[in-house]
Copies of this chain bind each other. A is one copy, B any other.
Amino acid sequence: MPATIRDVAKAAGVTIGTVSRALNNYSDVNCHTRERILRVAQELGYRPNQMARSLSSKHSKNIALVLSGFLEDTMLNDFETMLMKGIYQFAFEHGIDIAMYVINSRTQKEKSYEQLCYEHNIAGAILFGLKTNDPYCEALAASHRPCVTIDTEVRGPCISNVTLDDVTAFDELTQYLIDRGHRKIVLVHGRKNAMVSMERLVGAYQAFTRNGLTLTHDSIIYTNFLREEAVAGVGAYFRTHTPDSATAFLCMSDMLAIGTIEALKSLGYRVPDDYSVVGYDGLEVANYTDPKITTVDQNIKEKGYEAAHLLYDMLNGIRPAQKLVLPHTLVERESVKNLNELSN
């Protein structure tokens, strides 16, 4: 059994109160005594029982990562993975443990946010995958517990949001295609009501308009962000459109780009020779396709790192709740043909 505070106290010849004070960096401890206590604690391999600690003090410093919709989403949870990488990188560098919990819209109804935090002794949480109408959004706003949401805008006194400028990023991506001579662009659209879809649509619209192009309903393929739907949608598109009605496919996600490329290939077209395709997200997998996909990297790993950092600072009172807009990066790879260049 692990050593308790009592063991340390006995070994150091003081009372548990003093040990507690020494270990919690209280100022009113004789530095000689403190040193002895620290040494003894070290020797005994003593580590405070966090449960007892927070049961007694009524608060903890535990940070949790709360993932919603993990089980429902696509098979390849590249997004969550990258996010976790960033978060645990921070945890690793700062020597803290971060527990991860998986929830979904159903479990949110069964167990309230406060309940979850209470049961697991969570001082502050990083939340990802929350839909705008999820129960936890309201709960977050009402809570006094510091938290950071990623890619979901929730307002509240203790809530930080880490996002990126989706509108601008998608605008840039669209402009990238236009700059390379593409004027007949098909938009492969994500889930209709999703916030991200709408923002990206605005970005595309901005770029189209600025360049004197019009975005017609006819040249939009709707999906729910699923690869198979992109495959089907592109197939359907060419059944009602001539081959020269498009030169490029502007996809709202990398998975949609993968599906689009798959469909184009199966129709006997080459990418990017016959059609150009761009994705959005910056998933690792977009690097393993043929051709490698030109995309906007959301820097999701960095988002994770910064979210953890921010929450850590909030819990330690060195940064207030805030909205953090992280930069994105246009990653130029192999899936776009420059139509302005002379074709030899």
Contact A47 B119 (CB under 8 A): yes
Compute how far the CA of A45 lies from the CA of B116 in the bound complex, rounded to whole angstroms. Answer: 13
Chain B residues near A130: list those with CB within 8 A. none
Query: How many chain-A residues does the 8 Å CB contact rule pick out?
Result: 51
| Contact A120-B288, Cβ < 8 Å, known A78-B76, A92-B104 | no
**A290 part of interface (Cβ distance < 8 Å):** yes
Residues from chain B with a CB closer than 8 A to the CB of A262 are: 288, 290
- Kindly list chain B residues whose C-beta atoms are within 8 Å of the C-beta of A97: 101, 116, 119-120
Question: Counting CB contacts under 8 A, is A285 at the interface?
Answer: yes
**Segment 109-155 of A: residues with Cβ below 8 Å from B:** 110-112, 114-116, 118-121
Stretch in A48-56, A157-165, A206-214, A243-251 with 4+ CB within 8 Å of B:
A48-56
- A71 and B90 alpha carbons, distance in the complex (Å): 11
Closest Cβ of chain B to A285, distance in Å, is 5
CB-based contact B119/A50 at 8 Å: yes
A255: nearest chain-B partner, CB-CB:
B288
Closest residue of chain B to A74 (Cβ to Cβ) is B284
Across the interface, do A2 and B290 meet the contact criterion of CB distance under 8 Å?
no
- A85 close to chain B: CB less than 8 A: yes
CB pair B51–A2 under 8 Å, yes or no, is no
Q: B288 to A2, Cβ gap below 8 A?
A: no
Residues of B close to A110: CB separation below 8 A:
95
Q: In the complex, which residues of chain B have a beta carbon less than 8 angstroms from the beta carbon of A107?
A: 92
Residues from chain B with a CB closer than 8 A to the CB of A78 are 76, 81
- What are 10 A-B contacts defined by CB distance under 8 Å? A51-B51, A81-B81, A95-B110, A97-B101, A97-B119, A98-B102, A262-B288, A265-B290, A285-B288, A290-B290
